[in-house]
Amino acid sequence: MNTMLMTVFERTHEICVLLAVGWTRGRIIRMVLYESALLGFFGGVVGVTIGALGVQALGQTPALRGLLQPDLSLPLLAFSVLIAVAVGVLSGLYPAWRSSRLAPSQALQAG
């Protein structure tokens, strides 16, 4: 949530201009949520990749070779990425709501 909240704070002027030119509050919310979902997706892909490489490396360690049976099936990896996207969207709800509540006049006040 912190990343998206900072993004909204940094883009207050841009969001207010979009509202002033006719974007609906719902469209602003969707924009922020799509960005949150994208961050969650890419974070999930990177996390799953690093995790899979780590599990493979641990599986090659002689001391753990018989103890560790990694399950790197495609459905499990896809579910992990899906969870990351869901967390991204959930963490973007408050920043999206906050950005939709901005008044277009704030863009003029900020300069």
pLDDT in tens, 69-97: 778 899 999 999 999 999 999 999 999 99
Question: How far apart are alpha carbons 87 and 36 in whole angstroms?
Answer: 9
| Token pair of 21 as six digits | 């030119």
How far apart, in Å, are the Cα atoms of 90 and each of 36, 40, 66, 108? 8, 10, 39, 31
Question: How far apart are alpha carbons 88 and 84 in whole angstroms?
Answer: 6
| Whole-number pLDDT of residue 111 | 57
Place of tokens 């949520």: 33
Q: Which residue has the higher pLDDT, 55 or 27?
A: 27
